[in-house]
């Protein structure tokens, strides 16, 4: 018997040891006993980080939707797979059983096929958190099409870049979405995006807000009548273990977004196994992850992980502050949520409101709390522990990335003693290493360094869509034979890890990764702007906020600075999305640069954070006076 369900710390250590000493044997056992395969693998693992090439369960054949849905129909047909909790508390929740999910997925899969989508084709899904989003993802997987979900908060420009990068043939969207008291014209955004995309042949439109929208003849189709006419069974496409399952874009520190490619079998095994253990999910539990499915957390821990385990998973369309700051607590009480998984930025926003909203609701169902997306600060950790978990629910602070597919460092609920702000111990099969700046591994405890992983795990992304070289350069070139995460971390006296944050030019704002370069490129497109630099400054709710230093072109005329600030933020909203707007914009006569012309962000970061006592080495600066001027005018 494999150790599918770990319950004690001793057991964790024992299983961890086994997973590191014999990774192939360990993962083979897990895969064999807990999943449905159409054909067994020929080889468990082959890997070479220098190429890089990683293959798990090569030769195996399967369909992930058989694992997420079909196999549960024997014993869980009437069990709720997904609870849809709408934006408005006045709209009733929907309970979608495994049987209903099967039929809805098969119907949509049949529609996709009838519109010419087949194995390997890319389908862009641009939907809010409504059931059609889960169904679309699974329908793609059913027929072997590769889904590329784009977060529905991205602008038309960001959407078209992503559609073109992976040459999607189809877009699935809606007539609009609800967000708190507002509605958003998603179809309008798609229409604008598609002006620049010649690859898209069909747009399927789900009805959500019943607004009057434009339907382009020959391209746009309402989804409902197509589904009504479609059959309720669809044979799953039998896929190879290493066929791509999905592409999900993540920001890099430079250049265009990276389309991370995840393949089927290894991803499935690792996501299911992490979900079961870290959250200690039990058969009758109700689990709620508040992330948007447009991000990896939603892919892995709203859809694939829970469904692979036959779980009941909540999909929430709304926001934490609508109709008031008690909404999360109301939903927990209403559905008797047992595992609650959210982000530090949400915890901080809710903590700010005090406990008055919490006290109105019965949170006694909660057994486990989770955190993800950025380091959780001590204050937020304690607030969460004291008020939401009432000191009885362990907090699993889960560190991982879009690229890692699943959770990498985290407590296992009830087994690993927690420690505020620490992600604690590597999960089963994960071999972390801290590296110094010279490329040497730092051994021992009470040390800090750059976080790498030494050995492949089943759900590591296999490449960047269309750019394998960039995959190699970004993740496998900084340290020989290791995957570099881009994060810094420290290891305490007992071997617990604490993630200290990004060491590259990615800034995490409200849990969203933002690369500085794409934002700077956008600002520089403004006709009055000569150049710009973005840094992160601490923010008590968002974790980080963006601070921009902007040098204007010398045109002789003077412009109203507040108007310029507004225009710059409008441009960012249009090109990237509102999440990338700057909190502060300081106009500068020049930016501090090295003699070789590189902007010294380190100095700008310190100035913006008002930490100027020690600016570090400024000897390479071209023009030290610029620094003084910027310091004098800091906002
Ligand atoms: C950060 C989200 C500290 C980290 C799953 C990582 C965290 C980046 C944590 C990936 C955590 C995520 N503690 N930092 N528990 N979880 N991060 O790709 O910097 O959206 O590299 O994946 O978020 O963000 P991504």
Q: Write out the two tokens for 544.
A: 């980080």
Asked whether residue 124 falls in the same domain as residue 190, the answer is yes
Protein residue with least CA distance to atom 15, ligand 1 = 399
Asked whether residue 418 falls in the same domain as residue 540, the answer is no
Asked whether residue 569 falls in the same domain as residue 440, the answer is no
Which residue out of 257, 369, 401, 489 has the highest number of ligand 1 atoms within 8 Å of its CB and is therefore the one to mutate? 401
Relative to beta strand 94-97, strand 80-85 is antiparallel
Protein residue with least CA distance to atom 8, ligand 1 = 401
* Ligand 1 midpoint to CA 345 (Å): 12
CA distance 163 to 144: 18
φ/ψ (deg, to 5) at 354: 80, -165
What pLDDT is stored for residue 1 in this prediction? 47
Asked whether residue 462 falls in the same domain as residue 514, the answer is no
Protein residues with CB under 6 Å of any ligand 1 atom: 250, 295-297, 371-375, 397-402, 423, 485-487, 499, 502, 508, 513
CATH for 164: 3.40.50.12780
348 belongs to a structural domain: no
With b for 16 or more beta-carbon neighbours within 10 A and e for fewer, the 73-86 pattern comes to eeebeebbbbbbbb
Asked whether residue 116 falls in the same domain as residue 148, the answer is yes
Cite the beta strand spans of 294-446 per DSSP E: 312-316, 339-342, 368-372, 395-398, 432-435, 441-442
169 belongs to a structural domain: yes
422 belongs to a structural domain: yes
Q: Report which ligand 1 atom has the smallest distance to the Cα of 297.
A: 5
* Ligand 1 midpoint to CA 514 (Å): 12
Angle at 461 between CA 55 and CA 244, to 5 degrees: 70
CA distance 46 to 68: 26
| pLDDT < 70 regions, the chain | 1-3, 253, 617-620
* Ligand 1 midpoint to CA 485 (Å): 10
CA distance 534 to 506: 10
CATH for 541: 3.30.300.30
Closest CA to 484 of 519, 451, 449: 451
Asked whether residue 433 falls in the same domain as residue 565, the answer is no
CA distance 272 to 27: 12
Q: What is the pTM of this model?
A: 0.93
Residue with tokens 């995840």: 262
340 belongs to a structural domain: no
What pLDDT is stored for residue 3 in this prediction? 61
How many distinct structural domains can be found in the chain? 2
What pLDDT is stored for residue 620 in this prediction? 67
What pLDDT is stored for residue 497 in this prediction? 98
Asked whether residue 417 falls in the same domain as residue 519, the answer is no
Protein residue with least CA distance to atom 7, ligand 1 = 374
Closest CA to 397 of 498, 304, 507: 498
Q: Report which ligand 1 atom has the smallest distance to the Cα of 410.
A: 15
How far, in whole angstroms, is CA 121 from its chain's centroid? 23
Residues facing 149 on adjacent strands: 125
Asked whether residue 525 falls in the same domain as residue 471, the answer is no
Choosing from 456, 489, 522, the residue where a domain stops is 489
Instruction: Find out whether 369 and 393 touch, Cβ atoms under 8 Å.
Output: yes
Protein residue with least CA distance to atom 22, ligand 1 = 401
Contacts of 232 (CB under 8 A, 6+ apart): 103, 106, 107
Q: Write out the two tokens for 616.
A: 């570090």
How many angstroms separate the most distant Cα atoms in the chain?
77
Asked whether residue 462 falls in the same domain as residue 517, the answer is no
Asked whether residue 407 falls in the same domain as residue 526, the answer is no
Dihedral angle at the C-alpha atoms of 569, 574, 578, 583, nearest 10 degrees? -10
CA distance 11 to 190: 50
User: Is the sign of the CA dihedral 617, 618, 619, 620 positive or negative?
Assistant: positive
Choosing from 431, 455, 489, the residue where a domain stops is 489
388 belongs to a structural domain: no
Asked whether residue 556 falls in the same domain as residue 444, the answer is no
**Helices marked H in 439-499 — which ranges?**
468-475
Using alpha carbons, list the distances in angstroms from residue 251 to 96, 105, 179, 595. Answer: 33, 30, 24, 29
Instruction: Find out whether 465 and 261 touch, Cβ atoms under 8 Å.
Output: yes
Asked whether residue 469 falls in the same domain as residue 535, the answer is no
* Ligand 1 midpoint to CA 411 (Å): 15
Contacts of 251 (CB under 8 A, 6+ apart): 257, 258, 506, 513, 514, 515, 518
Q: Backbone dihedral region of 274: left (phi > 0), alpha (psi from -120 to 50 degrees) or beta?
A: alpha
351 belongs to a structural domain: no
246 belongs to a structural domain: yes
Q: Report which ligand 1 atom has the smallest distance to the Cα of 502.
A: 19
Strand, helix or coil for residue 83: strand
What interhelical angle do 561-575 and 516-524 show, nearest 10? Answer: 120
369 belongs to a structural domain: no
Q: Report which ligand 1 atom has the smallest distance to the Cα of 402.
A: 18
* Enclosing domain of residue 160: 2-319+398-489
Choosing from 489, 524, 558, the residue where a domain stops is 489
Protein residue with least CA distance to atom 4, ligand 1 = 374
């Amino acid at each position: 018997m494999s150790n599918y369900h770990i319950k004690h710390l001793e057991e964790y250590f024992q299983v961890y040891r086994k997973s590191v000493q014999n990774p192939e044997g360990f993962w083979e056992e897990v895969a064999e006993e807990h999943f449905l395969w159409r054909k067994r693998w020929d080889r468990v693992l082959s890997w070479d980080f220098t190429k890089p090439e990683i293959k798990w369960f090569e030769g195996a054949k399967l369909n992930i939707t058989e694992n997420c849905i079909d196999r549960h129909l024997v014993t869980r047909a009437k069990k709720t797979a997904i609870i849809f909790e709408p934006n408005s508390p006045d709209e009733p929740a929907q309970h979608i059983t495994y049987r209903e999910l099967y039929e809805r997925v098969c119907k949509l899969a049949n529609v996709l096929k009838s519109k010419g989508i087949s194995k390997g084709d890319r389908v862009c899904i641009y939907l809010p958190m409504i059931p059609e989003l889960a169904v679309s993802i699974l329908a793609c997987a059913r027929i072997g099409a590769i889904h590329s979900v784009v977060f529905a908060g991205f602008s038309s420009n960001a959407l078209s870049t992503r559609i073109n990068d992976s040459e999607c043939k189809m877009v699935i969207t809606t007539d609009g979405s609800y967000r708190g008291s507002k509605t958003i014209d998603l179809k309008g955004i798609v229409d604008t995006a598609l002006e620049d995309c010649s690859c898209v042949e069909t747009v399927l439109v789900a009805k959500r807000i019943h607004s009057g929208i434009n339907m382009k003849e020959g391209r746009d189709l309402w989804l409902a009548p197509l589904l009504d006419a479609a059959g309720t069974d669809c044979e799953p496409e039998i896929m190879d273990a290493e066929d791509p399952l999905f592409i999900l874009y993540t920001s890099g520190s430079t250049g265009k977004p990276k389309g991370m490619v995840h393949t089927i079998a290894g991803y499935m095994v690792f996501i299911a196994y992490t979900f079961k253990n870290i959250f200690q999910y039990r058969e009758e539990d109700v689990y709620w992850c508040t992330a948007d499915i447009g991000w990896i957390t939603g892919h892995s821990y709203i859809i694939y992980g829970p469904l692979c385990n036959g779980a009941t998973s909540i999909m929430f369309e709304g926001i934490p502050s609508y109709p008031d700051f008690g909404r999360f607590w109301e939903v927990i009480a209403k559905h008797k949520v047992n595992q609650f998984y959210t982000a530090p930025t949400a915890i901080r926003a809710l903590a700010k409101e005090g406990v008055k909203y919490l006290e109105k609701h019965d949170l006694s169902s909660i057994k486990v709390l989770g955190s993800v997306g950025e380091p959780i600060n001590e204050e937020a950790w304690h607030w969460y522990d004291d008020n939401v978990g009432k000191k009885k629910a362990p907090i699993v602070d889960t560190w991982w990335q879009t690229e890692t597919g699943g959770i990498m460092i985290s407590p296992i609920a009830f087994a690993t003693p927690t420690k505020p702000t620490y992600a604690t111990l590597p999960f089963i099969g994960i071999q972390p290493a801290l590296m110094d700046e010279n490329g040497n591994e730092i051994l021992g405890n009470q040390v800090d360094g750059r976080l790498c992983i030494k050995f492949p795990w089943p759900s590591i992304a296999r490449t960047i869509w269309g750019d394998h070289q960039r995959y190699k350069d970004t993740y496998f070139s900084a340290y020989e034979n290791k995957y570099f995460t881009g994060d810094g971390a420290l290891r305490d006296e007992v071997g617990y890890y604490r993630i200290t944050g990004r060491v590259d030019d990615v800034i995490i704002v409200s849990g969203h990764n933002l690369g500085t370069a794409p934002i700077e490129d956008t600002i520089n497109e403004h006709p009055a702007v000569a150049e710009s630099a973005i840094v992160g400054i601490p923010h008590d709710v968002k974790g980080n906020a963006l601070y921009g230093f902007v040098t204007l072109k010398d045109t002789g005329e003077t412009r109203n600075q507040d108007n310029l600030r507004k225009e710059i933020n409008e441009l960012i909203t249009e090109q990237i999305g509102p999440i990338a707007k700057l909190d502060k914009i300081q106009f500068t006569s020049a930016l501090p640069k090295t003699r070789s012309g590189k902007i010294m962000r380190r100095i700008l970061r310190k100035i913006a954070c008002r930490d100027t006592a020690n600016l570090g080495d400024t000897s390479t600066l071209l023009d030290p006076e610029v620094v003084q001027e910027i310091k004098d005018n800091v906002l």
